[in-house]
Each structure stands twice: as C-alpha cells, then as structure tokens.
Amino acid sequence: MEYGLLSHRAALNECYALDKDHLEIEIKTGYGVTEVFLCYGDPYSAGIMGGAEKWSGEKTRMHMERELEYQRVWSIVVEPSYKRCKYYFEIHENEECVYLFEDGIYTKERMEIPGRKEQCFFFPWINPADINETPDWVADTIWYQIFPDRFCNGDRTRDPWYVKEWKSEKVQHLDVYGGDLRGIRMKLPYLKELGITGIYLTPIFASISNHKYNTTDYYRVDEAFGDEEELRQLVDEAHEMGIRIMLDAVFNHCGEQFAPWQDVLEKGPASKYYDWFFIHQWPFDAKNHSTRDGRYDSFAFEGEMPKLNTNHPEVIAYFKELCSYWLREWHIDGIRFDVGNEVSHRFLKELRFELKKINPEVFLLGEIWHDSIAWLMGDEYDSVMNYPFVESINDFFIDESRRAVQFAHSIDRCYSLYMKQTNRVLFNLLDSHDTERLLTRVGSLGKFYEQLVLLFTMEGSPCIYYGTEIALEGSFDPDCRRCMPWEEIEDGKWKERIEAVKALIRMRKNYKACRSAETKWIFAPDNDRVIGYRKDMPGEVSIEVKMNASREKVEMPDDKKIIFSYGCEDGWILADGVCVYEA
C-alpha cells in the first residue's frame, strides 16, 4: 500500500455538514486500495474522560466516488445521533489492512498495544450557523453574460459624439459603441426564447471607460447606459420573464475619479480617506500610470485603479451599505465580485452576513481563477467562476497526447475541490470578457459544440458569453468584446447555430440528469481520444454522451433516442463530432 497517498483532514471539504443532520466524510487513497471503512461514533459514548471503557465506533463501508490522476476519492454520508462525530478509517489493499488516524497510520499490531492513546479525527458539532448553504435556484439557472457597451444600443440619444458605428468587427481598447440598459431590455424576449434564466452584467456604474471596471460612483448608473430607473425597469421586466439579474461589483479597486481617491490626491495624509487605500509613499506622481515603483498598491500595476483597503472598517461599512442599497432598491438576485481573491476575508464575511439578512437567496459569486476552498466555507462566497473547469477541457482538446481517462481525472478533480453544496452552484463557463472566445480558441465548430455539450451536461450552473449562440469570434481582450450582430441575427444568417444552442438549453432543462453530481465515465477500449460518460439521477431519465476528439470516425449507439448531435452521419460520429442520447 502506498501510505503517502492516504490523506484526510477533518476540515475544509473532507469532513463537513451537508445539512443540520448529516456529515459528508471523504478520504483519498492510492489506486491499489480495494476497500475503505469508516469507524465512527459519538466522542462521549465511553464517558467524558473515556474512563476504563474503551471507545469503539460503528464500522461502515465507504463508497469509491471518483478517480483522480494518482488517487481515488472515497466518501460516505453519516448521521451522527448527537451531531458530534469521532472517527478513523480502516483501509484494505488485498490482504493488507491499516488504520488512518489524525496522527498517522496504525498497523494492526499498533492498534493492539495496551494503553495506546488513539488520536482520532473529530467533527465537534454541527452548528446550524456554520452549514454551507447555497441558493437552490442557482443550480437550475442558465446564465448569459453581457458586456453592455457591445450588446445592443437601445437609446441613441445618449450616444456621445465619439460612438462608433455598430459593427461586429475587431475592436480597440478605447472604442465605444453605445450599448445600454434599454438595449438589453429590448432583447429580453430574445433571451427568454433562447432559454436564458439568468443575466450576468459586467459593471454598469459610472466610470470613464467602456468596460467600467474603474468605478467613479458606485451609486450611479453610468449615463451612457441609462439611469437608475432604467435599471429598475430592466430588473422588473426580467423577473416577469423568469430571468434573474446579477451585477458586477468592483470592490478590490476603484477608478481614479472616485471621490475618496480624489480627496487623497488633493490632501494627502490629511485626507480622511487616506487609509482607505494602501499608500506607501507621499507625495507621489499621480500622472505616472504604473505603480511598479511601489508608491501605492493598485490593480495589476494600473495606477488609475488604486487598490481599496477592504480591511478598513469604514471601507467595509461603505460597501455593506452600498450592496444593501442595490438589493433593496433594485431587487437584484446576485453579485459577482471582481478580483474576488484580493478583497479581505473579513470584508466578505461581514458583507455576506449583512446581505443574507436582506435576502437569504442572494447569490454571491467570486471571480477566482484557482482553487478557492478558502473562500467557500459557507461564510463568504456561494460560488466562484469555475476556470479550472475551462482549463481542464481546453487542455484535452489542444493536447492530442492526452487520453480520455486523463480528461476524466481532470474533470473529477474540479469536483473534488469543494463541498457538494458548492458543486451544485459552481459557475461553469467556457469563455468570458477576460478570455478569447470559444470558437476562436478551438478553431472548429465541431470542437465548439463538443465543449458546449460538456458545459450543459455537468453539475453546476452553466454560463454562455453573449454571442456564443452564433459562435461569435474574437481573440483576447479587447477583441473578445465585439458588438452583437443583430442585423445578421434578424436576417436569419445564424438561425442554425442559434437553434443548436436552444436545443442544448432545452436538453439541460428537460433532462435533469444533466445536472447530476454522478458522472460515470465510459472509455473506448480501441480509441483513447473518445470521451464517453453517463449521467444518472434517481427518478429521472438517464443520458449518455459520446464525443470523438480523435481523427477517426467512431460508431454511434444503435436504437437510442438522440437528444443532440453534431458532426454525425450514417451511424458514425465523425472527427470532432458529439452525440447525446437517452441511456
């Protein structure tokens, strides 16, 4: 047995409360392990101090849940009678048996030593306030991300003189095209028909840029987009159509025109806002728009985006009041936190507590591109943008040496990072305003639809970037922010592509197994670039997916009801083709 591959901590996502009565317990082992048992019970079953009576627990078999590249994950759900749990593991590999305790591995011989003190694992108590609760509605939501300036211009009377003619062309960093909130309102019926049930808007508040990530006034809608009444109407009309609204919150940094920063530039250390920022030198040259000299902290060395001190009580109070205003005034459903890994944990804990009092179902989403368990313990974010999911998919499709089993391991890893409550609402995406567009990255419609099938048949909350329904192209920022070509859409040029995405969204809604946490991988014995998996959910119709990432055609299943397919003909799935069918 490979002892170095045995791992468990009675914390984070390896032992946690699923609800007020149940604990999820997981352990990782090497591939050679054949059985794992959990030995558990109440810590006080043998008395307060243990006494002369030796503590012993109930023994129950664990389930092998998923496989990673070098380890297997075993899990079990238990219901401690008194909400407390003391436990250890019994691990078998053929004839060998060892026991894992908090202080390490015990052999049978060590277990039998008289007077030995067992350092068991503990879960002290299921406190209701500590349970990670995520909004139920998010798991059923189909998100659509909109970059407002490029989506639809609905009110040309607001256009400044420098607005460019609306064309779906390559764009530059400073280009402005006049998209606004009224334009989004006008297209709500289009989004509803597409099947969208949630809109994520990149920033809409006052700013001197087209992207609005350098905020000037967090209380005022940017006049280029409309006003506060226009936002209220957008939210109300979206809600009437069953569509939720999530706003983008830029609290890690502000714009250089933000009033407190302007006060600092004018008064220096005498400003009451001086400690709202991380300033290390005074005076400094405010015209130098790089902060590599360390004079103050900013977002990514961008001097025009000074970093806010989210540890400061006044800054925390300011944004608590702001977000409370957003919820009470406009009844928004979610907040996405830009650069969500750089604001302080203290800030997020206090903000969450305040906002969940107003609306327990508000969705708090962090922009974090890496393992985010530290922010997902139930007292900060509900979810994060699942960029590891994007990267795992991308790596398989661009690296033809990777095998389907390696792809399965990488996807399973994404769902091994967090608690099950979080996995249900992971914000799954394939591209965004910060990446190149999906079609541009993959280079073919076949790979494009293969990856969309993955997006819509995995656990979590899928999001498509505006224009994905027509396979809009675009390289990295700013090219990924091209204008939506409404004339071409209305002329029917992209009808076939739009219908394909509609079909995927219908599949997601009609076949609940798509959302299941259970993914059973099916590997082709003669082609290691063919991805296959089955999704099951109790009481629901199961589905199977088969996609061909190889250069050879593979057989489609016989006598199956096809739900969605692309690149298939005469009973074959061609290279870069995909088929979803009832199992």
For 123-138, what is each residue's pLDDT tens digit?
999 999 999 999 999 9
Mean pLDDT of 546-565: 94
User: Topology of 256-309 in CATH?
Assistant: Oligo-1,6-glucosidase; domain 2 (3.90.400)
Measure the CA–CA gap between 233 and 226, rounded to whole angstroms.
11
- Whether the CB-CB separation of 466 and 147 falls below 8 Å is answered with yes
How confident is the model over 156-171, as pLDDT tens digits? 998 989 999 999 899 9
Six-digit token string for 510: 């009609």
| C-alpha closest to that of 246 among 389, 350, 365, 77 | 365
Query: What pLDDT does residue 4 have?
Result: 96
Percent of the chain topping pLDDT 70 = 99
Helix (H) or strand (E) holding 509: helix 495-510
- The encoded tokens of residue 499 equal 């219908």
Q: What is the DSSP letter of 558?
A: S
Q: Render pLDDT for 169-198 as a digit per residue (tens, 0 to 9).
A: 999 999 999 999 999 999 999 999 999 999
* 425 secondary structure, DSSP code: T
**Residue 130 confidence (pLDDT):** 95
Q: How far is CA 472 from CA 168, 170, 318, 484, 574, in A?
A: 9, 11, 39, 8, 23
For 310, the token pair is 């989210």
Q: Yes or no: say if 144 and 200 are a contact pair by the CB < 8 Å rule.
A: yes
DSSP state of 27: E
Give the pLDDT score at 49.
Answer: 63
Give catalytic residue positions. 338, 367
Does position 564 have pLDDT exceeding 80, yes or no? yes
CATH architecture label of 136-252+323-510: Alpha-Beta Barrel (3.20)
pLDDT of residue 47: 81
Predicted pLDDT of residue 309? 98
Q: What is the pLDDT of residue 50?
A: 53
Question: The tokens of 183 are what?
Answer: 């334009």
Please give the full DSSP string across 170-213, using - where no structure is assigned: ---TT------HHHHHHTHHHHHHHT--EEEEPP-EEESSSS--
pLDDT value of position 255? 98
Question: Would the pTM of this model clear 0.85, i.e. be above it?
Answer: yes
| Helix, strand, coil content of the chain in percent (nearest 5) | 30, 25, 45
Mapped onto helix, strand or coil, the DSSP state of residue 528 is coil
Q: Give the count of beta carbons closer than 10 Å to the beta carbon of residue 319.
A: 20
Q: Give the pLDDT confidence of 289-335 residue by residue, as tens digits.
A: 899 999 999 999 999 999 999 999 999 999 999 999 999 999 999 99
pLDDT digits (tens, 9 = 90+) for 235-257: 999 999 999 999 999 999 999 99
Alpha carbon distance 497, 564 (integer Å): 13
Return the closest-CA partner of residue 143 out of 248, 229, 214.
Answer: 248
Question: Which residues lie below 8 Å from residue 396, measured CB to CB, with a gap of 6+?
Answer: 402, 406, 407, 410, 531, 549
**Architecture of the structural domain at 3-130:** Sandwich (2.60)
> Is the predicted pLDDT of residue 468 greater than 90, yes or no?
yes
3-state secondary structure at position 220 = strand
The residue assigned the tokens 């800054």 is 315
Return the SS3 of 63: strand
Q: Check for a shared fold between 3-130 and 514-582.
A: yes
The residue assigned the tokens 């062309």 is: 169
Q: What are the structure tokens assigned to 189, written together?
A: 């019926």
pLDDT at 290: 95
Alpha-carbon gap, residue 256 to 204, rounded angstroms: 17
Work out whether the CA dihedral 158, 164, 169, 172 comes out positive or negative. negative
Residue 102 and residue 121: Cα distance in Å, rounded? 5
CB 199 within 8 A of CB 238: yes
List the Cα angle 406/408/411 in 5-degree steps. Answer: 110
Q: Tokens for 182, please give them.
A: 């009224």
φ and ψ of 298, to 5 deg = -145, 170
> Could you tell me if 286 and 304 are in contact, meaning their C-beta atoms sit under 8 angstroms apart?
no
Unique residue bearing structure tokens 């027509």: 470
Helices (H) and strands (E) in the chain, counts: 14, 26
Question: Where exactly are the structural domains of the chain?
Answer: 3-130, 136-252+323-510, 256-309, 514-582
Per-chain mean pLDDT for the chain: 96
Mean pLDDT for 80-92 is 97
Averaged pLDDT, 260-276: 98
CA-based nearest residue to 441, from 428, 429, 426, 425: 429
Distances from the Cα of 330 to the Cαs of 12, 207, 244, 334, 436, in angstroms? 35, 20, 12, 11, 32
Distance of alpha carbon 172 from alpha carbon 176, whole angstroms: 9
Instruction: State both tokens at 501.
Output: 């995405």
53: pLDDT confidence band, cut at 50, 70 and 90?
low
Query: In the predicted model, what is the mean pLDDT of residues 347-367?
Result: 98
Query: From CA 385, how far away is CA 355, in angstroms rounded?
Result: 20
Q: At residue 404, does pLDDT exceed 70?
A: yes
CATH number, domain 514-582, options 2.60.40.1180, 3.40.50.300, 3.40.50.1820, 3.50.50.60:
2.60.40.1180
Q: Which residue in the block uniquely carries the two structure tokens 């006080």? A: 44
For 52-147, strand residue ranges (E) read 58-61, 63-67, 72-78, 85-93, 96-101, 104-106, 121-123, 143-146
- Does a cis peptide bond (omega within 30 degrees of 0) precede residue 478? yes
Residue 52 pLDDT: 56
